[in-house]
Structure 1
Amino acid sequence: MLFILILISLAVNSSPCIETAHGTHWMAFTDIIIRRSSISEVPNIGNKYTCLGLCLQIEACVSVFYRQQQQRCQFHDVLFTSPQDGEQEIGTEYYSITTGGCPLSYVHNRILNMCYQIHLIRATFHAGEEDCNSRGEHLLVIDNAEKQSHMVNQINSSSDNMLRKFHIDGADVETEGHWVFHDGRIMTYFAWGPGYPQNGTDKNYLVADPQYGFLWSDKEGMEAKHYICERDL
């Protein structure tokens, strides 16, 4: 299959576009490799463009290291964001892939059709929700175990995220114990941490809590947390 690569120069990175997919070049990872959690590795690859094309063909692939000196592609199902977690390897470059309208620099799990961005600023539930809405997005919807597992793996993939609490979509403001998403859909899947939900009348919003391995707790909406915005594709 022929992949056409268009290079677009940006102020902080280069963003190759492979047909309908966009590869973001993460400059902070230049000459850095993270060896853990790879889903596969392919040897005898002569250039990074082939790596990006192969990542596009592997549905589980979210990001790829092109290891120039070894002429290898190393594929991952998460997007690393903490360069300090890696080790030096001269000539290595790091890219992520998005398709189908998922913006550059977002995490795109193509198997689960999840397109989202983790925000490391702190905000109340409503302020985080409003920030998501300003881009036509909403807080991250977790409606099955596979999405919960992916979210946990993504957060734990980078040390910058591991100890942070995150607002995700879901509230029982209208009726205590009756949890709904932003669009009014009734929630049927839950990943509560031990002792939750507490069901207090002021604890109406979902938080992915590192104290319980990013299982959920119900918290007050005015507590400032980090948050995750999701874009529907």
Structure 2
Amino acid sequence: MLFIDANAVNRFIVLLAGFVVVSHMSSLPVEDDSMKSATFTSLESVFTNKRINTDLIAEFTNIMKIACMGECLSDLNCDSVGYHSGQKKCRLHDVIVSGSGGVTESGWEYYSMQEDFCSQENFVHNRILDICYYIPPGSHTCPDAIAICSNFSANLLTVDSQAKQDWTHDLCVSENIDGTFFDAFLDSHLSVWKLGKTGMELTYTYWDGGEPDNFGHCIGTKPYHGWEWHDYPVEWTAGIICEIRRP
């Protein structure tokens, strides 16, 4: 059953059939059966009497607002919802919809979704990989990159699957990032690379031929190495992708 923390709502709270129906609020906490929780923030300042038709992934009819938001929370592709209270229509979108475009139609309300473990400002939630990430500006050495991410209560990116490697490559290309370092370290015996956050040995790697060669103590990926992994000296620089994982 979906529920809302009523303490977060200022007014107009009505209990009905096991749901809490809320209106006239700027944000709305929601939790689903899997105990995931998220906050839906009103986009009222961006939208006025518009129905957005782009990036639509699903549409539901005869549905309450809280159930609409629950559908978004349950769908890993959903990042925002549109709801029409008069028509009881729900529309799920796979991006945080912007104010551009749309068809004039009164009655639509739009909300962006952010899962509660991803509450840091400027961090973006990739729901497929279930991580929150932020790209600080500039290129930095590996030790500086670790410190910068730590300032956000985050770690350097961990790449532990081919899907994560592919996503990292695509993100670096699309955001024009000159590669990035990973959250990994060489153990004290200089023999085994381990994940920085857990200390576990790497279970997935994407080493270039002849790597690692113990040339450096920082794992990273750069375009001129075909995005395959190298161990780099600590004075080399690269872009940064900070990551927060679900507890």
Distance 1:226 1:24 in 2: 28
Give the TM-score, by structure 2 length. 0.60
Q: Out of 92, 103, 119, which is 1:74 matched to? A: 92
Q: Out of 36, 39, 46, which is 1:23 matched to? A: 39
Q: Is the 8 A contact 1:199 1:218 kept in 2?
A: yes
Q: What is the letter of the counterpart of residue 73 of structure 1?
A: R
Cα deviations across residues 138-169 of structure 1 (Å, max 9, x unaligned)? Answer: 2222222344455556x38xx9x532133321
Q: What is the letter of the counterpart of residue 228 of structure 1?
A: C
1:53 matches 2:70: yes
Deviates more, 1:103-112 or 1:48-57: 103-112
Q: Specify the alignment match of 1:167 in structure 2.
A: 181
C-alpha deviation, 1:48, in angstroms:
6.0
Rg: which structure is higher?
2
**3-state DSSP of counterpart to 1:103:** coil
Q: Specify the alignment match of 1:118 in structure 2.
A: 134
Q: Out of 158, 165, 172, which is 1:141 matched to? A: 158
Q: Specify the alignment match of 2:113 in structure 1.
A: 96
C-alpha deviation, 1:226, in angstroms:
2.2
Gaps of 5+ in 2: 11-25
Q: Out of 185, 193, 203, which is 1:179 matched to? A: 193
C-alpha deviation, 1:74, in angstroms:
2.6
Distance 1:62 1:107 in 2: 13
What percentage of aligned pairs have identical amino acids? 20
**More relative contact order in 1 or in 2 (CA 8 Å, sep 6+)?**
1
**3-state DSSP of counterpart to 1:88:** coil
Q: Is the 8 A contact 2:28 2:41 kept in 1?
A: yes
Cα deviations across residues 18-68 of structure 1 (Å, max 9, x unaligned)? Answer: 1462225386x94596945x6x3124377765432211233x245124276
**3-state DSSP of counterpart to 2:144:** helix
Distance 1:117 1:178 in 2: 27
Q: Is the 8 A contact 1:139 1:168 kept in 2?
A: yes
Q: Is the 8 A contact 1:166 1:207 kept in 2?
A: yes
Quote the RMSD (CA, aligned, Å).
4.5
Cα deviations across residues 91-126 of structure 1 (Å, max 9, x unaligned)? Answer: 674513314x443664456676x4322223233322
Instruction: Give the count of matched residue pairs.
Output: 213
Task: For 1:211-226, list aligned pairs within 5 A.
Answer: 216-222=229-235, 223-226=237-240
Q: What is the letter of the counterpart of residue 16 of structure 1?
A: L
Give the TM-score, by structure 1 length. 0.63
